[in-house]
Chains A and B, each alone.
Chain A
């Protein structure tokens, strides 16, 4: 359930009225109607999805009510359901992923756009785009066979060094929030790097050259010109990635440990909204169970819509600033 955040919009075009032209001909009219219908279809699809999710989860909202959102128990046998552990797991694993992938992605994009020779830049960018196309189940397999043993080996050391923090305590299973966050960061890194590079390449040369003429260093040019100019695009990239991280199912299911418990430790197994739906839907024989799973789907849907809305708002604000 990844949804695209706007990557880049130019403020000049925003809200501009359609250009008045010569009188519409029949063909133009037909074309306009067809593309309008296509656009309407997308909206209709989203509305239908929201409607179906609401209808399917009605029983949960009636039986359990808003408590569903903050209850921590998930017990399909006793028809007792709460979404909080899944919300927690989804947000924390995505937060870890952003924490790792944003500096890495933006950093490598700056290198590729500003510092690297064009041949290197193009070759590496191509590799990054390939990386973005790796199916998530492949990444999940890599997680199972490489990342989990590696994390298990590292965890005792982390506990020794940082064990005074509650995040780094507990049994070193190798599966858990940390591993899920790592695999998600690996998954979204190519998005952030590729989009940020593209955006940085659109920064007008004249602006940069003006600053160089004033004697600025490369770092100063990046900080004062490139990043501010590209910030709305970079935010777009980050939110697009966040959308993917929140909805990622397969790879996360394979490494997160699938345990609906909230624990401060990043080593502890956890669960995400997408993962529980994928895991339990096929065998959800009870109506209450099915309804609760659809309710989780609705929550995930709302969360992604809200996040994308916030992203839009933020980009809008950034663009209004001089």
Chain B
């Protein structure tokens, strides 16, 4: 029903100037929702005639609605696979917008700094490492007094891009994870408790002594939750920062379709558990919507990127930005 006034507005506006688009509708990922709503809001100030509506219903829902063409663009934290693209008519542009990071949050009395590497983190989430005084943890954290305390694993219970990024990372650093659990927005977790949303996971981690979970970087920093420093592919320990995430994106070779995972990226400053988030757009759009989308994306690259860090997102590295700018021009 909400759309009704918009349709009416569209009809009124379309009357004097033909094919003028008054509204764009999009749906998808919840993770980039704060930055997207900021962008659409700011862009509306620049182009008062255009209203962009975005429903943060989840990446899966965004892909489905785009496939059924009930929205003008979708948004996802994970790239569409080949089967999904085929169902959507064979071609869907993935436009990377910003990047996010996932951090392992923990609750161990008296420990504020913790160093982890991929295999150890995978061992914990596989249920192989069950106590904080495990030799592998001690070896990574010389000088830290790790107690004899059972580890309680906490994961997301709701399907989410955060889980996708985290399991994607574990799949790359642990052959056992890659062959058993694999990666996905919802997976079959070998051990642990499920909390709903970032707040559910952080709530359980904060309450449970000996707990370890994973949350979005912005969520951990805003709520002062201690989180671990990760060893990256180059062997350096990196604490998640916005610069580190952008560095991870710069460290991968970008394919033409942008469908790339940047977890466990090379580069000595790259934070290893990072991900792009994408807008999903058809290369050809009806009803004069192509140029409108194109104009918005140009604006987003030029003016929108600088708004990202304040909201906890990492902007695109310069190399990717230049590449995306060219792709945007191909939208019809």
Q: Which positions in A face B, CB cutoff 8 Å?
A: 73-78, 144, 148-149, 152, 171, 173-175, 253-254, 257-260, 269, 271, 275, 278-285, 289-290
Contacts of A174 in B (CB 8 A): 207-208
Contact of A258 among B160, B183, B188, B195 (CB under 8 A): B195
Contacts of B63 in A (CB 8 A): 285
Contact of A175 among B59, B182, B204 (CB under 8 A): B204
The smallest beta-carbon distance between B109 and chain A, in angstroms, is 15
User: Which stretch, B2-10, B151-159, B220-228, touches the partner chain A?
Assistant: B151-159
CA distance in complex: A290, B57 (Å): 14
Report yes or no: B193 in contact with A279, Cβ–Cβ below 8 A: no
Contacts of A259 in B (CB 8 A): 189, 192-194
Report yes or no: B182 in contact with A254, Cβ–Cβ below 8 A: no
Report yes or no: B196 in contact with A284, Cβ–Cβ below 8 A: no
The smallest beta-carbon distance between B216 and chain A, in angstroms, is 15
User: Would A77 and B183 be within 8 Å (CB), given that A144-B203, A171-B150 are in contact?
Assistant: yes
The smallest beta-carbon distance between B328 and chain A, in angstroms, is 25
What residue in chain A is nearest B77 (Cβ atoms)? A283
Interface residues of B in 177-217 (CB under 8 A from A): 181-189, 192-196, 200, 203-204, 207-208
Report yes or no: B60 in contact with A285, Cβ–Cβ below 8 A: yes
In the assembled complex, B58 has its CB within 8 A of some CB on chain A: yes
Report yes or no: A283 in contact with B187, Cβ–Cβ below 8 A: no
Pairs A-B, 10 closest by C-beta atoms: A283-B159, A258-B194, A282-B58, A258-B157, A75-B188, A285-B60, A283-B185, A77-B184, A279-B158, A283-B60
User: Would A284 and B159 be within 8 Å (CB), given that A77-B181, A77-B183, A77-B184 are in contact?
Assistant: yes
CA distance in complex: A75, B208 (Å): 26
Contacts of A149 in B (CB 8 A): 207
Q: Which positions in B face A, CB cutoff 8 Å?
A: 30, 57-61, 63-64, 78, 84, 150, 152, 157-161, 181-189, 192-196, 200, 203-204, 207-208
12 residue pairs from A and B, CB less than 8 Å apart: A75-B188, A76-B187, A152-B207, A174-B208, A259-B189, A283-B60, A283-B158, A283-B160, A283-B161, A285-B78, A285-B84, A290-B60
Contacts of A78 in B (CB 8 A): 182, 188
Report yes or no: B159 in contact with A175, Cβ–Cβ below 8 A: no
CA distance in complex: A148, B192 (Å): 16
Report yes or no: A257 in contact with B188, Cβ–Cβ below 8 A: no
Q: A77-B182, A152-B208, A174-B207 are in contact. List 9 more A-B contacts (CB 8 A).
A: A77-B187, A254-B200, A282-B57, A282-B60, A283-B61, A283-B159, A284-B159, A285-B185, A290-B60
Report yes or no: A73 in contact with B186, Cβ–Cβ below 8 A: no
Contact of B193 among A257, A275, A282, A289 (CB under 8 A): A257
What residue in chain B is nearest A144 (Cβ atoms)? B203
CA distance in complex: A76, B189 (Å): 11
User: Would A279 and B196 be within 8 Å (CB), given that A77-B183, A171-B152, A253-B157 are in contact?
Assistant: yes
Most buried by A among B30, B158, B181, B189: B158
CA distance in complex: A226, B62 (Å): 57
CA distance in complex: A152, B187 (Å): 27
Report yes or no: B186 in contact with A282, Cβ–Cβ below 8 A: no
Contacts of A148 in B (CB 8 A): 207
CA distance in complex: A149, B209 (Å): 11
Report yes or no: B60 in contact with A284, Cβ–Cβ below 8 A: yes
Contact of B186 among A171, A253, A275, A280 (CB under 8 A): A280
What residue in chain B is nearest A260 (Cβ atoms)? B188
The smallest beta-carbon distance between B180 and chain A, in angstroms, is 9
Report yes or no: B58 in contact with A74, Cβ–Cβ below 8 A: no
Report yes or no: A175 in contact with B193, Cβ–Cβ below 8 A: yes
Report yes or no: B196 in contact with A269, Cβ–Cβ below 8 A: no
